[in-house]
Structure 1
Amino acid sequence: MEYPHRKSIIDLGSNSVRMNIYGIGEADDYIQMDQAKEKVRLSEGMGRELTIKSAPLERLFATLELFSQLNRVYEVEESYALATAAVRSAVNQTEVLERIEHRTGFSFQVLSGEEEAELDYLGVVNTMAIDDGLLVDLGGGSTEIILVQDRQMKEAISLPLGSVNLSENYDTDRAARLRIRQELQKLPWLDQARGYDIIGLGGSIRTLAKINRAARRWPLFSIHNYAMAAEDVAEVLALIRRLPEKRLARTPGISASRADILKRGLAPFIELFRLIEPSRLRISTSGLREGFFYTRYHTKRGLPPVSNDVLHDALVNFERRYRLNRVHCAYVTRLSLELFDHLGDDFDPEDRLLLEVAARVHDIGMHVDYYSHHLHGFYLILQSNLSGLSDEQLIKVAFLVGYHRQKPNLFDLRPFVQIVGSDTHKRMKQLSLFLSLAEQLDRSESQKIQSIDYDGRVMTFRLKDGFEASLEEQAAQLSLKRLQEKYRVKLVFL
């Protein structure tokens, strides 16, 4: 069985209950196999007496039965059930937990606010390349705020104020925002976050990005690491304030089931946005469940809880997951970078990094089929959510992979060119020559070339002792000709 070790993680919030199912392979590669989500509004009607009512509990029981069926379908070995703000604050918590276990068999661990914040932090820093930032998880019953500096969690707090209970307990948006403002004034360490990016988690904050993406007709599927400039955030917030609830429910990017809590529910984010004055909002779809997964995955393998290099770790997982020929890919990467270092004066350091990434995964399309695998690779990269890269960087890597054989002409490239710009698109086409030639120079996949030397006029491909490269020279004819014409170099195989 592929990915024989299967785990599920359930996150019971105030508004929604979600479950992720992960598979771990024999090579320690991992994949999210499925996700389930239902809005049960567990905190509905809790009011100031903080009592979970029977109606939302019945909705929860029905949902957990569906989750149990999914666990059986996927042959899940271990299932972890975590409860957050609604259960944490409920005066009838013990009774609720007993009823849940009796009816469904799930035994929930109730997280403290501090534990929830730490798992949010671990979910973000293990899937995003951030050094400094303010993490804001706006849930249904609480808001977690985490200050990150040098990739470390420096401060964290969980406020018992979220999108659902703010909407239910305050009559006006102004009253909700005033309460939030009072709470934020008690946190002097927020001054350290001024000007930082806000990294937003939770459905209400994701809605801001969904509205913006819909307006821009954003062509990428994943919303993780999507970035919005501060002025775009302000524009979307103004739109939400202006529209009545019925119009909001019909606005592209807004879920009809969230429209009733969106305005008041965004109060914590609005106040933090006003206070911090960030340059950008970045979206993370990784939070508590992902943080819990990485905690267990890293601990069992003796790894530090926080990845030192998110992109490197993501690439290693890709290589394992897609069963890439790692020797061949590493060799093609080395040759690509040698060519870049000799001839890449027209490019910048980021281009070198993206060339390295593309070279390491250039054969990812072979997972679908050999024929047109550059096209399959182009698509897979765009939909890959490769941690550590921005959307713009991901598109550039996809161009490099797509062009490493020939133009990915089955796709309409215009939406992607529009994002990175036509000049950048042309530069990626030019840069792909190094990758194309490097792959052809290992046509036999026997790593015949020892090194590439260049004296400013002659480029010498030095072969290992006892090898000849007729197959490689034949395969690389067109690329070698392009290299000669563009860089005016003489090419020699020795």
Structure 2
Amino acid sequence: MSKITTIIDIGSNSMRMVVLEKSSRFAFSLINETKSKVKISEGCYENGGNLQEVPMQRAYEALKSFLNISNALKSRKILCVATSALRDAPNSKIFLNRVKKDLDLNIKIINGEKEAYFGGVATSNLLPDDNFVTVDIGGGSTEFCFVKDGKIKKSISLDVGTVRLKELYFNKNNLDGAKKYILDSLKKVYDLNEEIPSKVVGIGGSIRFLSKLIMQKNCYPLDAIHGFTYSVKKEEKLFVDILKTKTVEDLERLGVKKDRFDTIKEGTFIFKTILDELDTKTVVTSGVGVREGVYLTDLLRNSNHKFPENFNVSVRSLLDRFQIDAKQSAYVGTNASKIFDVLKPIHNLDEKYKTLLVVASKLHSIGTTLNFYKSNDNAFEFILNGLSYDFFHSSRVIVAYILKFSKKSLPRQRDLEEYEELLPSLDTMQWLSFMIALNLAVNIDFSRPKVKYVLLNNTLHLELPNKSFLVESYIEKLELPQKLFLEIL
């Protein structure tokens, strides 16, 4: 696979592009994301599904700009797919042939089931959940992909989309007809005979924007859409309020942006109808979709479109990009596990915290790479946004705080206030802070010593292989959690 790859997704409402750079066998990072609301399907559902000349010209001009960006970034591979609008349009070849002739770009029209599958590949690899159904609302269609135990079971696409319903029902003020149309279409989902999960992973611009409104309303502390989770019952009122609006001013008062005025009510109507009908309890917002699914299907073509077990693409990508010494990284990761395990009888923390402690230990030197001074603060700010894939928001914040308080002093309650709703108890954070500080202190001279840890009567005995004044002085300055004593042998 090329080191830099461009993926373009031509949807009914928006055209999106991502440019991804591969850093090792399975790791990659996003280096560009561009969106253009070309509305290529505008007017087509009122004209026998045929693409209209003005929207086609908008899409053509946007594609030229996308290719300019791709070329400037030295992308060596371009994968371009088109979904509902082009697969439904009887005259789509006019657009396809023009793009091929003028821009030398091959557009692959994918069927609805494949579109749903790509969404499933992206979310099952880049979100930390294993059991859910994706709902991807686009301009012309809505896709569902059932994921169980991390594996894709079945995929389906319905001809239910924001632009389609706007032209066929909303413009005629026929909301009852729109609801009946959606519910009739949903019967095909039940025909799959798949157990309907209580958790929906939402994909697409309308769903992401609804999540942004919820975050804004609740003063949510973390500015990250991917992985944001909310209770359907708790946030139902916002959906109802959007559907009650009569004017643009009403939408503005709810925080809706200008570029969402045209389809936010249709998107909300579709999503609420689906959530109600499927009796969904929880929504997890996905920042990835068809584009990432296309990329991962290519990247993971020899491994059933799935990352290896226990592989985390965000962590691996950061280790690659910051050229963190592999031996040092492996050492601090292994040593973090040893410290966690030996102290388990006192801290009694869940095993998930060991994983986060290991991740924080491996990524600790990123702060120094950014700037040696205030390295812990640098790491904190960077990790809040840098761990973009395969982490719950709470996990991302915990790792950032472990790094922020990885020196001598333990965090206090006031230090946790800003992100309190995403953090565990102060006691838990103090234990994690101490364990990473101890981990880094024993390796302060980068010698990777083979330390023996023994816990006896709430006293942690450290047996160092060689006497080191520097190491011992750092360890002796550490602030200890309550109930713990420390002795260097």
The equivalent of 2:437 in structure 1 is 436
Q: What per-residue deviation string (whole Å, max 9, x for no partner) do you get for residues 175-215 of structure 1?
A: 11110101112332577444520100011111210110111
The equivalent of 1:153 in structure 2 is 152
Alignment CA distance shift 1:90-1:425 (3 Å): farther
Alignment CA distance shift 1:389-1:54 (3 Å): same
Tell me if structure 2 keeps the 8 A contact 1:166–1:265: no
Query: Among the aligned pairs, what percent are the same residue?
Result: 23
Matches within 5 A, 1:125-274: 125-170=124-169, 171=172, 172-188=174-190, 192-251=194-253, 253-274=255-276
Matches within 5 A, 1:472-483: 472-479=471-478, 482-483=479-480
Q: What is the identity, as a one-letter code, of the residue corresponding to 1:306?
A: K
CA distance in 1, matches of 2:309, 2:388: 13
CA distance in 2, matches of 1:489, 1:292: 53
The equivalent of 2:342 in structure 1 is 342
Tell me if structure 2 keeps the 8 A contact 1:142–1:159: yes
CA distance in 1, matches of 2:482, 2:375: 26
Q: What per-residue deviation string (whole Å, max 9, x for no partner) do you get for residues 276-330 of structure 1?
A: 212211111111110111122223xx43412254663432222222222232233
CA distance in 2, matches of 1:266, 1:147: 22
Deviation, 1:490, is 4.8
Tell me if structure 2 keeps the 8 A contact 1:4–1:25: no
CA distance in 2, matches of 1:12, 1:408: 50
The equivalent of 2:482 in structure 1 is 486
Q: What per-residue deviation string (whole Å, max 9, x for no partner) do you get for residues 408-447 of structure 1?
A: 99xx9666333236x6245313320110011010011111
CA distance in 1, matches of 2:252, 2:410: 36
CA distance in 2, matches of 1:311, 1:231: 34
The equivalent of 1:404 in structure 2 is 406
Q: What per-residue deviation string (whole Å, max 9, x for no partner) do you get for residues 242-300 of structure 1?
A: 2224135414653322222222233432222112212211111111110111122223x
Alignment CA distance shift 1:145-1:220 (3 Å): same
CA distance in 2, matches of 1:175, 1:255: 27
Matches within 5 A, 1:354-369: 354-369=356-371
Tell me if structure 2 keeps the 8 A contact 1:374–1:401: yes
Alignment CA distance shift 1:215-1:109 (3 Å): same
Tell me if 1:380 matches 2:382: yes
Alignment CA distance shift 1:250-1:6 (3 Å): same
Aligned residue pair count: 481
The equivalent of 1:92 in structure 2 is 91
Which 5+ residue runs of structure 1 have no aligned equivalent? none
Match of residue 371, structure 1, among 364, 370, 373: 373
Tell me if structure 2 keeps the 8 A contact 1:129–1:310: no
Alignment CA distance shift 1:262-1:28 (3 Å): closer
Q: What is the identity, as a one-letter code, of the residue corresponding to 1:118?
A: Y
Alignment CA distance shift 1:12-1:195 (3 Å): closer
Tell me if 1:113 matches 2:112: yes
Which 5+ residue runs of structure 2 have no aligned equivalent? none
CA distance in 1, matches of 2:259, 2:409: 43
CA distance in 2, matches of 1:245, 1:449: 69
The alignment yields a C-alpha RMSD, in angstroms, of: 2.5
Deviation, 1:389, is 1.9
Q: What per-residue deviation string (whole Å, max 9, x for no partner) do you get for residues 49-76 of structure 1?
A: 0100000011112211111211221111
Bigger Cα displacement from structure 2, 149-158 vs 258-267: 258-267
| Residue aligned with 2:201, SS | strand
The equivalent of 1:7 in structure 2 is 5
TM (norm. structure 1) is 0.91
Alignment CA distance shift 1:224-1:129 (3 Å): same
| Residue aligned with 1:295, SS | helix
